[in-house]
Amino acid sequence: MAFEYKLPPSLQKRLEGLQAQTDSIGRSAATVTVFDDCVLKVSPITAENRNALQMLSWLQERLPVPKILYQEDRDGINYLLMSRASGRMACDPLLMEDPLQLTRSLADALQTLWRVDITGCPCRQFLEHKLSLATKFVEAGECDMEDAEPGTYGPGGFRDPEHLLSWLVDNKPEETPVLSHGDFCLPNVFFRDGQVSGYIDLDHCGIGDPYQDIALCYRSLNHNFNGKYGHFPGYDPKMLFQALGMEPDMDRIRYYILLDELF
């Protein structure tokens, strides 16, 4: 959804003369402008970007996340200037050409998240919270059925978002508390020399279940390798689970992918 804004004078002065380009990879309502060494994210003030600010602050010495360089709320708009993540996005073609190494790097990035001591973490992202948010989106008619995964709606699937939400409420899986990124898709993770060098877009980060991240990572890998966002040979969906050293619970993966259809 497009929105109008005017940069605060102090921020405008800070950015004068810098070369910029608009980042069109993300799917959020925010306007993201990328400079040589910083990133400006402008968006309507929401509970989600309040969450992101809290998590960015809390994670500064715990994980490689952007540093907050400038932040201001003005006339219902949040202006956030951050340091630019180093390395390459996980969906960079150079990384996609080696699916085995990429899945190993992603598995390590997931496990690095889950090893963080969550004592004192300011944000909770358990299913009770997520389903409450999903209910608001469904009631407001903000869930896009056209952009859903094939089979989500229609014959063999759900009638509509209300039907999906009801099923999600009735079929909540058990949760194991860890630090969850919340939107662990390939564009939101950066690597340098095979090691995670940045986590970005922390709007849904907080204490949650590891399958929240496993599910969206799995879906993102499939989309990036099967032709939806690109096509690279040699990828097997089992690679991620092999790298994680686990036997996946596909029902839980399906649950969290379905939950994401309402956001």
State the catalytic residues. Answer: 183
Judging by beta carbons within 10 Å of its beta carbon (0-12, 13-18, 19+), is residue 52 exposed, middle or buried? buried
Buried b (16+ CB within 10 A) or exposed e, 159-195: eebeebbeebeeeeeebeebbbbbbbbbbbbbbeeee
Q: Give 80's DSSP letter.
A: E
> Coil, strand or helix: which one is 244?
helix
Half-sphere exposure of residue 82: CA atoms within 13 angstroms, side-chain side:
24
Nearest to 74 by CA among 12, 15, 6: 6
State how far the Cα of 83 lies from the Cα of 85, in Å rounded to an integer.
Answer: 7
> Coil, strand or helix: which one is 112?
helix
φ, ψ of residue 168 to 5 degrees: the values are -65, -40
Cβ pair 41, 32 in contact under 8 A: yes
For the record, the structure tokens of 79 come out as 């202006």
Stretch (H or E) spanning 212: helix 210-225
Task: Provide the residue type at 25 as one letter.
Answer: I
